[in-house]
Amino acid sequence: MIRIGKLTDYGILILTHMAQDPLRWYTTPEVAEAVGVPRPTTTKLLKSLVHGGLLESHRGTKGGYALVRSPELISMVDVVTALEGPVGLTDCGTARQPGECQRSVSCAIKTNWQRINQAVHDALGQVTLAEMRLPAAQPIHLPERRMALVHELTT
């Protein structure tokens, strides 16, 4: 099974909460309470999101954390990358330089894995933080050829 980590899931909850009022500054205790994530975990995630370029922070009595840009301009690929690193289902999908994978020269499936990795990256890039706050506006449909295959397999 392919999954995002629990911390990334919590990070998305935190950002979704903050997207409700994107111009406001949030404190760690209020975010932790609002999303139901323990304070130490919330602190760790907020710092990671600052480091990942999605939040800014200010110290002091009027300090806290705020989104660096509008929720409409933050995609799920931005969030996953900030918390987990580059999006990729396999190492060859996230390799930065040719030859990083020892099998790349003789790998017969590398190109297809790269296509799949790019499709996942693109799908995450199409969903914004603003959209994550709302119920899905449209049902998800399988492409026509996949629907035909599903029908064929089930009849």
Give the span between the Cα atoms of 151 and 148, in whole angstroms. Answer: 5
Domains in the chain with CATH codes: 1-74+128-155 (1.10.10.10), 86-127 (no CATH)
What is residue 131's predicted lDDT score, i.e. its pLDDT?
A: 92
pLDDT tens-digit readout, 23-72: 999 999 999 999 999 999 999 999 999 999 999 999 988 889 999 999 99
Contacts of the segment 51-60: beta carbons below 8 A, 24+ positions apart: 51/82, 52/78, 52/79, 52/81, 52/82, 52/83, 53/78, 53/82, 54/15, 54/78, 54/79, 54/82, 55/15, 55/18, 58/25
